[in-house]
A and B are shown apart, each in its own frame.
Chain A
Amino acid sequence: MCGAPAFPDREGVIEVKQLTKRYGRARAVDDLSFTVQPGHVTGFLGPNGAGKSTTMRLILGLDTPTSGEALVNGRRYATLGRPLHEVGALLDANALHPTRSAYNHLLWMARSNGIDPVRVAEVLEQVGLAGVARKKAGGFSLGMKQRLGIAAALLGDPGVLLFDEPVNGLDPDGVRWIRDLMRSLAAEGRTVLLSSHLMSEMALTADRIVIVGRGRLIVETSVKDLTERYDSLESAYLALTAGSVEYGAAR
């Protein structure tokens, strides 16, 4: 979204290539490969502890892979100059300083990436927090924090978006709002990678699915394919992840 892309054919693509991350002896991510394309909501599914959050941290260059690599727009995240123009992420809605206002939380981000402060007001408006912009984030409900995290992800108008369990702890209205937002972002041609351990929610939001278990890839396919092969997405998920647990336990 800024200047000529270095790899036009990989614009908007997230490539995870034989990615492995060990913490001590535990393999949080184990030889994982998949690709996320623009124009879709890609659901990133797996039981708790499957390695979804770790994979996202590796994509964002927060953790260093033990082996393999993750590329966004054909490049390692750490090599992006002003990354918020290319990638937006919500990893943890609680990652806020309690005495800093919502406005200032977004403004420091905008300044770090040369984003016009006008955008701060725009995204606050978009997520419905304009009225509490000057309030300290410490007093926000979880739902408001999720909205602020989404505002932060949208700040640089990026082509690639990553959301880690964004609907956890939201009320039904909030869940509905996020679902519609994800779908509209993908419809604008953006890449949306959305993690969850809730299959039922994903069935309503995603059109492509990557399922992981014990750090390994179980399946990478379309929602349509899964619903044709199984009665429902839910039973597909249960059948597939049950297999992974057996496979993992036998290892």
Chain B
Amino acid sequence: MIASEWLKLRSVSSTRYAIGAAALVIVLGAVWSFYVGTLADARGSIRAAAPEEGFLPLVQISLALVGVLAVTAEYGTGTIRPSLTAVPRRRALLAAKATVVAAATTLPALAVIFITHAVSHLIAGDRAVGYNAGSFGDDLPLLLGSVLSVTVLALVGLGLGVVTRSTAAAVGSVVGLLFVLPGIAPYLPQPWNVRVGAWMLPNLVPQIAGERISTRLDGLLPPAAAVAVLAGYALVALVAAFLVFERRDA
């Protein structure tokens, strides 16, 4: 059944385009690194952001789309009926989909994020550009946290896709979680702006690495708690999906 879901995912062109869009970050990261390299040549040293962190939202959105389309394309085209006719055990079908989506987004995310990191360091060379101040070991928690955030977003996308059955609604919800809610949180009254802000999806990645959320905002959550909250997003979306998928008419 895993093999069947894997074939479904890789046999449609949208999956290839989405992974291609995520891989574009490697190119963007290289361009960024050349640019900050020339700035560093001119000024001696600068503090530039790491491209795999700056362009992370592009990886997150592209690969969340893989999760969304894994199910909304089935509702959109009507293939959900042949799917459930072939595999009437709905929980097993959804579990297979979730497994395949997790694998098909984690591996590209891992590759894109680590390659972007490596390329940006190669291009920077021994110039002090900011993002190459720490060792690879220092950067590792942030890199792994970034990869995990992509997996989580893809599973959230899958879960929201099952619940809404609509590509637009599910993508809209993912965008809301990633950009809109974190943008609103700072405007809440004290101390809720910080407390709620700490739980916002994009803010969890720096907290996993024990870093500040922003130049003004310290993280509240210890790294292990940030990992748990991040995983919690996927869990909540998937539980909702299982509950709905189990009983709904197809």
Contact = CB atoms under 8 A, between A and B. Distances in A.
Contacts, number: 81
The CB with the most chain B CB atoms within 10 A, among A57, A77, A100, is that of A100
A64 B12 CA distance: 30
A108 B249 contact: no
Interface string A66-99: 0000000000011010011001010110111111
Given A108-B8, A108-B11, A152-B82, A61 B77 contact: no
A97 B73 CA distance: 8
A99 B11 CA distance: 8
Secondary structure dominating the interface of B: helix
Nearest to B17: A99
Contact of B11 (A60, A61, A63, A101): A101
Contacts of B79: 95-97
B78 A92 contact: yes
Counting chain A residues whose Cβ lies within 8 A of the other chain, the interface size class is 20 to 34
Contacts of B12: 97, 99-100
B84 A108 contact: no
B4 A111 contact: yes
B11 A100 contact: yes
B7 interface: yes
B135 interface: no
B86 interface: yes
A111 B86 CA distance: 10
Contacts of A62: 81, 84-85, 249-250
B87 interface: yes
A151 B249 CA distance: 25
Contact of B82 (A61, A78, A95): A95
A112 B84 CA distance: 10
Interface string B62-82: 000000000001000111011
The CB with the most chain B CB atoms within 10 A, among A84, A89, A108, A111, is that of A108
B88 A83 contact: yes
Contacts of A77: 88
B88 A78 contact: yes
Contacts of B249: 57, 62-64
Interface of B: 1, 3-5, 7-8, 11-14, 73, 77-79, 81-89, 247, 249-250
Interface of A: 57, 60-64, 77-78, 80, 83-84, 87, 89, 91-92, 94-101, 104, 107-109, 111-113, 152
Given A62-B84, A97-B12, 11 more contacts: A77-B88, A83-B88, A89-B85, A91-B81, A97-B8, A101-B11, A104-B7, A108-B5, A111-B3, A112-B87, A152-B82
